[in-house]
Amino acid sequence: MNFKDQTAVVTGGAQGIGRACAERIVGDGGRIAVWDIDLEMAEQAAAALGNASFACAVDVSDWASVEAARDATLARAGRIDILINSAGIAGSNAPLETYPVEEFARIQAINVMGTFHADRAVVPPMKAQGYGRIVNIASVAGKEGNPNASAYSASKAAVIGLTKSLGKELADLDIAVNCVTPAAARTRIFEQMSQEHIDFMLSKIPRGRFLETAEAAAMIAWLASAENSFATGAVFDLSGGRATY
């Protein structure tokens, strides 16, 4: 795939699936704007990525922060061709009846409102330039629901619905909006989960292993490329055989 002269915003791009996507796009000629709440880590990632990549400190749950990052990115790069929404948190594991109310709200603020904010920020410049690709990272949990993970499951179901809505809104333009539904990948998000829940997730994957971040990046890179000229408002499975629809 050819990303030459393109700028991709990757939220949560300093680590995990976001970092793998950034590496894949840079490898195919693109430049990355790493949007991450940890500026030091984002700057280190941008330096390692090269190809004039740069970092922005962003709290995706805060609209003003996202809007400022969008403006800074446009001032520096001149355009935003791609958005990959990878910033997110898993939260702790507990039955819904005892799930901490404030934590449930925080997970929605980052996973749902964060995706909404980033999508909302990049649509106007994409419309103005007549081109864009948006890929939101959901989860197989958003399709099936994981026990003791109601907050995370609900947030990722919302990302799926948001993707379908925005894809239809922009379907008459050369702006594709899709999402992927990965099974678990062994990233730092595991630090937020109990070992019991990690074991449960692995037991549900017919391939018998966790997703590799490079495997996720391969599919996401295609969705973010000009080669994807038709698919929009769609959900692409990355569950290792777990998903039934």
Write out pLDDT tens, residues 132-187.
999 999 999 999 999 999 999 999 999 999 999 999 999 999 999 999 999 887 77
Query: Which residues span the domain enclosing 174?
Result: 7-227
Q: Total domain count for the chain? A: 1
pLDDT in tens, 110-133: 999 999 999 999 999 999 999 999
Query: Is residue 241 included in any domain, yes or no?
Result: no
Residue 197 belongs to some domain of the structure: yes
Residues that are catalytic: 152
Closest by CA position to 82, among listed 165, 10, 172: 10
Instruction: Quote the pLDDT of residue 192.
Output: 66
Q: What is the edge-to-edge ordering of all strands in the sheet holding 234-238?
A: 54-57, 31-36, 7-11, 82-85, 132-137, 175-182, 234-238
> Is 153 within 8 Å of 145 (Cβ atoms)?
yes
Domain-embedded: residue 244:
no
Mean pLDDT score across all residues of the chain: 94
- CATH number, domain of 12, equals 3.40.50.720
Q: Is residue 100 part of a domain?
A: yes
Question: Which tops the pLDDT comparison, 195 or 109?
Answer: 109
Q: Which stretches of the chain are DSSP H helices?
A: 16-27, 39-49, 63-77, 101-108, 114-129, 141-144, 150-169, 195-203, 213-223
Structure tokens at 104: 């449930």
Question: What is the pLDDT at residue 201?
Answer: 80
Given a contact cutoff of 8 angstroms between Cβ atoms, the answer to whether 221 and 1 are in contact is yes
Q: Is residue 64 part of a domain?
A: yes
Q: How confident is the model at residue 190 (pLDDT cuts 50, 70, 90)?
A: low
H-helix or E-strand spanning residue 238: strand 234-238
In a domain, 60, yes or no: yes
- Greater confidence, 175 or 198? 175
- Residue 193 inside a domain? The answer is yes
Read off the pTM.
0.94
Task: Check if the beta carbon of residue 139 is closer than 8 Å to that of residue 112.
Answer: no
